[in-house]
Amino acid sequence: MQTQTLKHTDEIQGYDGMSNRALKGFQTLIFKVSGITMSDAKKSLIAGRLTKRLRALNLNSYDEYLHYLTKGEGTHSGEVENFTNLLTTNETYFYREPQHFAFLKKEILYKHNSDQAIRIWSAASSSGEEAYTLAMVLAEEFGANANWMVMGTDISTSMIKAAQQAIYSEQRVRMVPDDIRYKYLLKGTGEYNGYVSVVPEIKKHVHFEHYNLVESTLKTELFDVIFCRNVLIYFNQQTKKKVMERLCRQLKQGSYLMTGHSESLHGMLPELKSVSPSVYLKANQTNGLIS
């Protein structure tokens, strides 16, 4: 059987083919399911990432895809999940923004009683690079058999699956110091040449799950440190404050929150005290005063 070919290849390959109606529809949908605000300046990115779904579904335009997502078969076929995965995935790598890991080691872990459990949350973990970096730092400080854990969450189910596999290209681990790489990363051979995998001694401490920072049920456990980096920039001010309020409730008193270096929480929550660039302490509050 001859398959139907796309009629408007130029419209699919180039963002100029995306109508304003389709753009607004995609912006509304991604905000509804994730809380992420995508400006008109992201039109090229949106078009480029959604192209593969138009081809896979044999659709002729972005307007057809929007209809499929919001009124057609895509509303119950799992296509909204594919759509969300494509628009929320960001490239990352091990030891990204290394100042945070240095602060973690020197100012937090150094003072932590090694006999007590420590829990760290990588709240926008993407494909797991940040969470496994945290695990390596903890293993170096306390040992691979100590009582510590890292939880990684992300709104993208495809990224969670990739994180659980823990297989990465050499490019993604380029910032890992040689001695750390030797201890905790296994070099691939054969079909996995050019890739590495995280050793089981580290993987056993790291748990990944799907999570929406805006609306998923809050965790019952509290954390000693939360990393929520390079995701707040995608939220509007109202949603950003909501996310920060929710994360703050998950922090122990005297614990720390890390954000991306381009993300500021200045004046947003009184209980969060800036102690270093993009590092905040959940300070004790007495009679409305921060101590």
**Residue 16 a catalytic site member:** no
CA angle 197, 201, 207 (to 5 degrees): 80
**Plot region of 38 (φ>0 → left; ψ -120 to 50 → alpha; else → beta):** beta
Residue 119 and residue 220: Cα distance in Å, rounded? 13
- Name the token pair of 81: 């999940």
**Residue 154 a catalytic site member:** yes
Amino acid at 57: L
How would you classify the pairing of strands 251-259 and 279-282? antiparallel
Helical H runs in 143-230? 157-165, 178-184, 200-203
Comparing CA positions, the residue from 266, 192, 263 lying closest to residue 227 is: 263
Among the listed residues 96, 154, 181, 229, the single catalytic one is 154
DSSP letter at 61 equals S
Confirm if 152 and 207 have CB atoms less than 8 A apart. Answer: yes
Residue 276 and residue 225: Cα distance in Å, rounded? 14
Residue 261 has a CB neighbour count (10 Å cut-off) of 13
Where are any strands of DSSP class E within the chain?
118-122, 148-154, 167-169, 185-187, 195-198, 206-210, 223-228, 251-259, 272-276, 279-282, 285-286, 289-290
- The residues assigned a catalytic role are 49, 154
